[in-house]
Amino acid sequence: MIIPLSGNLITRYQQEQMLREYEETLRNQTSQLNASFEAATGEEIPDTTDAAVSPGKPPEKPEQVIGKILIPAIDSELLVVEGTDSRQLRWGAGHLTGSAYPGESGNCVLAAHRDYTFGTYFSRLDEVKEGDTIEVEYLGFSHSYRVIGSLVTTPDDLSVLMPVEKPILTLITCHPRGSGKERLIVTAEPI
């Protein structure tokens, strides 16, 4: 009992540090952009913590935070990092490289663990119901989604990763909890 608990506490502490670094980076980038604009135009821009640079290329470090995901129905708040290998998924939800980013047209795919090894992450994703809301913050911009469905499928079913024209959010985790036998898929559309 102590090993999973201590691992969970350590991971949570490290995630909070990464989130603070992410938020500080956004503030610094915003200040730099504002200073450049003011120097070029002579107009002053009020300093806000909500402003951010527009989405661009993925981060340089795999464990670099690119946002966070909040699922109020299950009290889940996770960091979002670029990539979905075991190294990245250790820190939170991973954005599937090559899929759309939050707010873009296409299939934005986020995956996370659902076991006790690295914390709770998507452990209660099976409790999310149609109509529940999901907030995804990406590079300082907030995107709201409404759950439209869920399904359980096999790990080799790649249809859930396919590109689509309209914006959609796809959440993926293992099913049942602690097993890699199947995959739980939750889909949501922008509000």
What is the distance between the alpha carbons of residues 120 and 74, in angstroms, rounded to a whole number?
Answer: 11
What was the pLDDT predicted at 47? 46
pLDDT band at 186 (very low <50, low <70, confident <90, very high): very high
What was the pLDDT predicted at 89? 83
Q: Please check whether residue 85 lies inside any domain of the structure.
A: yes
Q: Please check whether residue 50 lies inside any domain of the structure.
A: no
Contact (Cβ atoms closer than 8 angstroms) between residue 171 and residue 177: no
What was the pLDDT predicted at 45? 46
Q: Please check whether residue 25 lies inside any domain of the structure.
A: no
What confidence tens digit (pLDDT) does each residue in 99-136 have? Answer: 999 999 999 999 998 865 555 688 899 999 999 999 99
Count: domains in the chain: 1
Strands 141-153 and 107-111: unpaired
| Percent of the chain residues past pLDDT 70, beyond the cut | 65
What was the pLDDT predicted at 22? 65
What confidence tens digit (pLDDT) does each residue in 57-94 have? Answer: 444 444 578 899 999 999 888 889 999 888 888 878 99
Q: Could you tell me if residue 92 is left (phi over 0), alpha (psi between -120 and 50 degrees) or otherwise beta?
A: left
Mean pLDDT of the residues in the chain:
79
Q: Both tokens of residue 127? A: 């409790």
pLDDT band at 140 (very low <50, low <70, confident <90, very high): confident
Q: Please check whether residue 76 lies inside any domain of the structure.
A: yes
Residue 174 sits in a domain whose CATH number is 2.40.260.10
